[in-house]
Homo-oligomer: A and B are copies of this chain.
Amino acid sequence: MTEADRIQRLVARFGAASDRVVVGTGDDAAAVRVAGGVTVTSVDAVVDRVHFDLATWPLAAVGHKAVAAALSDIAAMGADLGEVYVAAGIPRSLGEAEFDQLCDGIAAAASGATIAGGDLTSADQLWLSVAVVGYAADENAIVTRDGAKPGDVIVVTGTLGGSARALELIAEGAQHDNLRLQKQFAPQPRFGAGRALAANGATAMIDISDGLARDAGHIGDASGVRLTISLPQIPLDAGIEDAKFAAASGEEYELLATLPAEKLAQARAAVAETGVALTEIGRVEEGAGAELQGTNGEAVAVRGFDHFD
């Protein structure tokens, strides 16, 4: 297959391009009609034996995770999904059927988006670099990391811990159809919840890719405040009993946000309409960074996180 054939096979996985896309793949560049407002763009790369391992990962999962990780950044800005651009280094050993599986995963994750461009090249090691573009009405409609205020409540979507547990199961050689692996093999960006939080008072938002504890620290650092999170309040995935394990679990792609306490009820209702639970897990205080607290308010360290400044 030539590169053009492969890009065509990839694009064929997608439905009709949105009306916004004036020029799709096959020209020098994609052209997209924009109404004005704000575009939101993120680039995310994954590499074999760094972010996944072809020895234990199905190719569909590799494609799915690469695209979902990039899309999750758009969701975390509270923006609408637009276009996806996929660059990939493909080892010569990867056959046609395997390439199709990779495309299946990319297409499944990008459902609702238009794949508007790509560049495929040979490489010794499989890698994907996914650029995603989203849209918002104006600057006030997006939620960055730097707006958390003392007194805000801290909320998180969904449940945590399942992603780290899935990694353990993969390492243990679990069957690929084990549904618990879906948190790694087919993560779901929280677009609806992101928009709902942005529209209902979120002052800061981030997607959980480094783990709740570290990502809370990112909001705290960017906002110049301290995020104090109560471990017993962290919503746990089914079968997860250790809140510290859940707080350290990366690549969850749930959303962590802050908002004024008086907006909590309406935000929870709006997020619930997207089929996702929203749980209050702490408070924003004066200070810096993030702190996890146990049942009696004592500071608790979690794996990969010892940020008590």
**Which residues in A have some Cβ–Cβ distance to B below 8 Å?**
22-23, 26-47, 49-51, 73-74, 76-77, 79, 83, 85-89, 116-125, 127, 129, 131-134, 136, 139, 142, 144-146, 205-207, 222
Contacts and interface: CB of A to CB of B under 8 A. Distances in A.
B85 A41 contact: yes
Contact of A39 (B31, B132, B139): B31
Given A30-B41, A35-B36, 20 more contacts: A22-B142, A26-B145, A26-B222, A27-B222, A28-B42, A28-B76, A31-B77, A31-B136, A33-B38, A34-B34, A34-B38, A41-B116, A41-B131, A43-B131, A44-B87, A45-B88, A47-B89, A47-B122, A123-B125, A125-B125
Given A28-B145, A29-B134, A39 B34 contact: yes
A29 B34 contact: no
24 contacts: A22-B139, A23-B142, A28-B74, A28-B77, A28-B144, A29-B73, A29-B74, A30-B40, A31-B77, A34-B34, A34-B36, A34-B37, A36-B36, A43-B87, A44-B87, A45-B88, A45-B89, A46-B121, A47-B89, A50-B123, A51-B121, A123-B125, A124-B125, A131-B131
B123 A129 contact: no
A122 to B, nearest CB: 6
5 nearest A-B pairs in the assembled complex, by CB-CB distance:
A129-B129, A36-B36, A29-B42, A87-B129, A131-B131
Given A27-B144, A43-B118, A43-B131, A33 B139 contact: yes
